[in-house]
Homo-oligomer: A and B are copies of this chain.
Amino acid sequence: MPVTDQAFVTLATNDAYCHGALVLGQSLRNHRTTRMLAILITPQVSSAMRTALCTIFDSVVDVNEIDSNDVVHLALLKRLELGVTFTKLHCWTLTQYSKCVFMDADTLVLCNIDELFDREELSAAPDSGWPDCFNSGVFVFQPSIKTFNLLLQFASEHGSFDGGDQGLLNMFFSNWATKDISKHLPFIYNLSSSAIYSYAPAFQHFGQDAKVVHFLGPAKPWNYKYNPQTRTVTEDGSGSVSTSQLSFLELWWKIYSSSILPLLNKMEKSSESKIQKEEADIIEDEDKHESENPSFSNSLPVSAQKEQVSEMLGSLLDELSAKDCLQKAECNFDINIAEPSKSSAASSPQSIFQPSAEIDIVTCSASELSIQPKPEEPSAEDERRKWEEGHIDYLGKDAFENIQKKLDSFLL
């Protein structure tokens, strides 16, 4: 029986993290959670991806990005993108739920973890880097506008020691390390992939009980490549990956290829036919467009369309192996598979989606699946940061001639 006033909550601030959120949501569904699934998304998330999220999450909530603007502290972590994780604070506004478990989009659930709802705010597992801090990738909280406002006020007054949400939340819930042992979630509820290396015998001893794996660090599962025939993950070139970490990455990709990829493909085809229909309709009645396409414009409530798609996919979810997925894909999902023997420049990995600049490109050959972010124009801020960090494009946009032109434009 579903518990409608409690939810697992995650966050995606771009399409790349949506891939993670979709796999996380699917892993929670696979393990038959009785709680609702909610996701916070920022405007950077494409509408196509938003539609896909609607098929797995009960609630897709638009939020504005809160940036910590704390470049000095973030630079310490060399993770400038962390600032946007302040957006996470919005989870406290989900007061339609009495209690929630927040989970980062780069986590993966390995079994049913509904027992986490027995814990109180703020329960979290220790961070393996500085274990008197909790890791804010998985935590139990109680939505409250009062708490949300106190958090924002605290952030504006004290900042965050790491420039991200983890530093802020640890400063706000500052007695976590010393006050109440029941608020210490076991580490197996937020097992950072780095712990596999740093104390290998402990991982070998306790790792078999892992309930949630957290792909910490800059290399996320969606940055790797996956061979669906051998069901193995190809390293991303950033260094060696242990067997244990590979098995978690492979599990992520198994769920992705069996459940998420068909879903995205289905969404894309549906979107294409919808666009064709809209192009016809628009001549007749431009005003009707928005109401005909509710899943694109309104996150709540669960759309009937979503339930249909979920039902259709439901029977596939548990049984489909990556190979099954590909076999079916040839018939049903129209994934373009290149035969290894025929591989050439012409038949090299092709995009499943060639829709627009809106969605990430998922390339798929017989030997490799990979997710490539859609090309983005760098922002003026990014350009400035790169310049200040010494990454200067001497031969391109930062060439002497171009700078000279700019200076001339001021002088003329």
Contacts and interface: CB of A to CB of B under 8 A. Distances in A.
Interface of A: 73, 76-77, 125-133, 161-163, 167, 177-181, 184, 186-188, 194-195, 198-206
Contacts of A188: 132
A96 to B, nearest CB: 32
A178 B181 contact: yes
Contacts of A186: 132, 177-178
A192 to B, nearest CB: 10
A198 to B, nearest CB: 4
A212 to B, nearest CB: 14
A15 to B, nearest CB: 28
Contacts of A181: 178-181, 184
A161 B202 CA distance: 7
Contacts of A199: 127, 129-130, 133, 162
A265 to B, nearest CB: 40
B128 A203 contact: no
Nearest to A127: B199
Contacts of A133: 199, 202
Given A130-B199, A177-B187, A178-B184, 6 more contacts: A77-B201, A127-B199, A132-B188, A179-B181, A181-B181, A194-B198
B132 A187 contact: yes
10 contacts: A125-B131, A127-B199, A129-B195, A129-B202, A130-B203, A132-B188, A132-B206, A161-B205, A167-B201, A181-B181
B131 A187 contact: yes
A184 B178 CA distance: 8
A198 B130 contact: yes
A177 B202 CA distance: 14
A174 B285 CA distance: 70
A206 B126 contact: no
A202 B162 contact: yes
Given A178-B184, A186-B178, A201-B162, A206 B128 contact: no
Nearest to A188: B132
Indicate the member of A161, A181, A184, A203 with the most B CB atoms within 10 Å. Answer: A181
Nearest to A73: B201
Contacts of A178: 181, 184, 186
A128 B198 contact: yes
Nearest to A170: B202
Contact of A131 (B126, B167, B180): B126
Given A181-B179, A181-B180, A199-B133, A204 B161 contact: yes
A125 B125 CA distance: 15
Contacts of A125: 131
Contacts of A128: 128-131, 198
A337 to B, nearest CB: 41
Contacts of A127: 131, 199, 202
A169 to B, nearest CB: 13
A371 to B, nearest CB: 28
Contacts of A161: 201-202, 204-205
A288 to B, nearest CB: 52
A107 to B, nearest CB: 17
